[in-house]
Structures are given as C-alpha cells and as structure tokens.
Amino acid sequence: MATEIETRTLRRITWRIAPFIMLLYFIAYIDRVNIGFAALTMNKDLGFSPAVFGFGAGIFFWGYFMFEVPSNIVLDKVGARLWIARVMITWGIVSAGMAFVWNDTSFYVLRFLLGAAEAGFFPGIILYLSYWFPAQRRATVTSLFMAAAPISVVLGSPLSSALLEMNGVGGLRGWQWMFILEAIPAVILGFVVFFYMTDKPEQAKWLKDDERAWLVETMNAERASKASAAKHSIWAGLADIRVIALALVYFGTSAGLYTLGVWAPQIIKGFGLSNMEVGFLNAIPPTVAVVAMYLWSWDSDRRNERTWHVVIACLTAALGLVLAGFSTTALAVVAALTLVNVGISAAKPPLWSMPTLFLSGSAAATGIATINSIGNLGGFVGPSVIGWIKGSTGSFVGGLYFVAGLLVFSAVLTLVLARAGRKTGDAPVVTPSR
C-alpha cells in the first residue's frame, strides 16, 4: 500500500510535470506530422510525386538519427531545462522555414534539419521522467506524456485543415500559413521551458520539504538497488544487445505511427472527401487511442508486466493495417486506422518502461537515445516505402501490408528478448507479472 507521503508527492509531481510535457510534445508532434496535411495541396503546388513526398517526409528521421545520441548526452550533462528549451526554439524556427520550400531539394534539406533540431526531445523527456518517477509508476506517466501525440492529431487535424483554407491570404498558400502559424508556439514554449522546468528533485523548491526528502531518498534507493546489475557508462548504453533489440522493436512501431501521421490524410482523401471532412475523420482514431493507451498502461503498471502488453498491442496494430488494405469505404478505413492507432499508442508506454530497468546514468541517456534514434528510422522506412509503392502501383495496399509485417516482427522480437532475459538471468527488460 502506498504511504500518505508517497501518494501526496507523486500526485504533486505528476500535476507539475505531466501536463507541461504533454503540451510540449503536443506542439512537437503537430510540427512533425503536419506535413501530411500540407501534402493535400502542397504536392500539387510544387509538383511532388508520391515517391518524392514519401522520401522527404521520412528523411526527417535521418536528421533525428544522426543527432539523437549526442543531443541526449548533452542533456544529461547540462540539464533538461536548458537543452529542451534549445531544442524547441530551433525546431520552431526550422518548422516555420518549411513554408518557403520551392523544390524537392529544399524540401529534403529542411525536413532533415527539422529532424536534427528536434533530436533529443523525446528521449530527453523519457530520461527526465526517470529522474522523477519510480520505475513501477513510469509506464502510466509515460502514457500521459505520449497521449499528447494522438491528442495533437485529434486537435491538429481540423486545425491544419482550416489553415489550408487561408489560401491567398497575404500572398501565401494555405499550407505555408499552416507551417508558420503552427511553428510559433514551439518558439514561445522554448522560453517558458527555461523558466518553468526543474532539472532534478533536489532542486524542486515547489515540493514541501518532506516530499522532496522522500522523493530524493526513493530515487537514490532505486538507483542503488540496481547498481550492481545496471550499466552506467556511455559505451554500455550504446553496446548493450538489449538496447539494439528494443530499438528494432521500436522500429516497427515507428513505421506504423508515421505511416498514419504522413499518409492517413491522403488515404482518407482518396474516398473523395473535402479537406475539412478529412480533418475531422482523421481525428477519430487518435481520440480512441488516447483512452486505450492510458488504460493499457495502467494495466501494465498494475500487473507489473511489459512483454505481453507490447506484443498484443503490436499485433493489434498489424491487424488494423491489413484491414485498412481491404477497406472499400471511408468509414471502414477510419475504423481500421483506429485499430492501428490504438495498437501503436498502447505499445509505446510499456516499451519505454523497459530500458531504465537495466540502464542508469549516462548509459540510460545514450541507451534511450539509441533506441529512439534507430527505432525512429522506421519513420523513414514506412512512409518512404509506402510512397514508392503508391507511385509504382497506384495503391496504398502493398505499403500497408509491408508496415504490418514490421509490426509482427516487433511482436516476435519482444517475445524472443523476454525469453532470452529469463534464460541468461541478466537484468530483465521486462518485469514479471504478479
């Protein structure tokens, strides 16, 4: 049973941290995937083929990949407050610059730079949460943070659709206004981060003395308890085979996630709907996913189980992609994409609770960043392959089946990883169910 001070402290830090980081991720995710709505008019204006668009949308993740680990190492050294502020301001500036692309080369360059600018944000927040929340509570709070992604689609889809209607205002296209106006909050919030965020529990003046003492003692004890088994060095975070395996698991989920973000508006648009209709229908899958993610993560924490919560979620998403390939109506495809969104969203919080079970310190910083950077290359592969297949065949079906296969691979690899951990007796990547 939780003590009174534990309940009080965790409630206070949850209300202090969770809504704020949700807001940050909300803005980040809008700037990352609004390219999917821009494509509804931008591709025609600039003459982009499906292959050009798919490659450009995905090259974001190469910038992300190259700068992720260095970014998280810097964050671990200088603190989240300063570094997250830097990340947000630079990505806001680059995102606004997307309004001024004029050909495929400028499109590729700015998408790459956007990935480089945003590198370190997501794994930095995951690392940041490990400073403030005990491992057993981490999946639930991670789900609150990650709920911002589907929420951003819920609210951002109709917003982006509406901004597309500003075509001709001030001599700019609607998609140009969309990039500019949706980038401004990132820059503003970057300055807010610098003054609002607290790096470590020891510095939390907004906690009562007994709350701060309990939290510091609890987190120090947790780190000490795994000191003999956990790996701490930068190299350990890069070289651990479990880190590479989790990165490959995350690869499949990222391919699915960014297939939705980049291509879902065009898949729905293919049924002859208006931009506003697309915006509202595209908001349905993530609305359901927000609820499913929280409940699934709560159950993962309650059972103290990670493996099957990742496996079942990945297989659910794969099934949704297969069904989307068979769908012949707008409502059917939205229902299938809802299943995809639920599965992918539900898989991520328990998955992100795994690395800090066997990594700490600098190893955790580099390990989390490595998982995210390699895994997010799925965000390049998924959209790019779908764009190539769509351009070659005129259909999204083959690409959807390809991404479904990646999600099945993620599920199988998670099971293999769990079994290997039980056989070797190493620090597990999953905790046993109770």
Residues 433, 422: Cα–Cα separation, whole Å? 13
- Give the pLDDT of residue 54: 87
Cα separation, 66 vs 89, whole angstroms = 19
**What integer pLDDT is reported at residue 191 of this predicted model?**
95
Q: What is the pLDDT of residue 316?
A: 96
Q: What's the residue count for the chain?
A: 434
pLDDT score of 357: 64
Tokens read off for 251:
């690869």
What stretches in the chain show pLDDT beneath 50? 229-234, 427-434
- Strand, helix or coil at 426? coil
Q: How many helices (H) and strands (E) does the chain have?
A: 19, 0
Q: Which domains does the chain have, with CATH numbers?
A: 7-424 (1.20.1250.20)
Determine the Cα–Cα distance for residues 268 and 265; give it in Å rounded to an integer.
5
The whole-number pLDDT of residue 287 equals: 87
List the one residue out of 416, 330, 352 whose CA is nearest residue 141: 352
| Type of residue numbered 420 | A
- pTM of this structure: 0.73
Question: Cα separations (Å) of 182 from 121, 152, 232, 259?
Answer: 18, 11, 39, 21
pLDDT of the residue at 432: 41
Query: Alpha-carbon distance 19 to 145, whole Å?
Result: 8
pLDDT digits (tens, 9 = 90+) for 51-96: 898 888 889 888 888 887 788 788 888 888 999 999 999 999 999 9
